[in-house]
Amino acid sequence: MTLSNDQIRLRRFTQRNFDLGVGRYLAQMSRRSGTIKNHDTTGRFKDSSIYFIRNARAKAIKIGRSVDPERRLGELQVGSPDQLELCALLPEKYGLEAALHQHFGASHLFGEWFGETPELITFMGEVSLWQRA
């Protein structure tokens, strides 16, 4: 599998300190591609996490924010006929949720749900590797 320049940069970035560098990375990505805009730098999301919840049958991933992602998964599961899976978590900083919505906008389905694209799957994999480190 050949990685794009953005995927290579993301991989290198996540191998360094993701939590401290996310704001700078988003700013660089925004300047380079124009796809990420209006990320928040107020710290108002400091107690929240960004979650990635996957519906495998629908090939859809929800990118959302919650102070209790496990509870949010349960709430979503009640209304879903399909099994949902919490795939990855990130600390919410710099308005990352909105920035991710903008970045993955090409695969937007509805609400906060996005189609399973190779780029999104790779990003979630990198986040999962960072979580285990």
CB atoms within 10 A of CB 21: 13
- To the nearest whole percent, how much of the chain has pLDDT over 70? 60
- Per residue in 6-16, pLDDT (tens digit) is 666 665 655 55
How many domains in the chain?
1
Global pTM exceeds 0.75: no
The closest alpha carbon to 96, from 16, 23, 4, 18, belongs to: 23
Alpha-carbon distances, residue 132 vs 84, 125, 126, 127, 128 (angstroms): 21, 11, 10, 9, 6
**Mean pLDDT, the chain, whole residue set:** 76
Q: Residue 118: which domain range?
A: 5-132
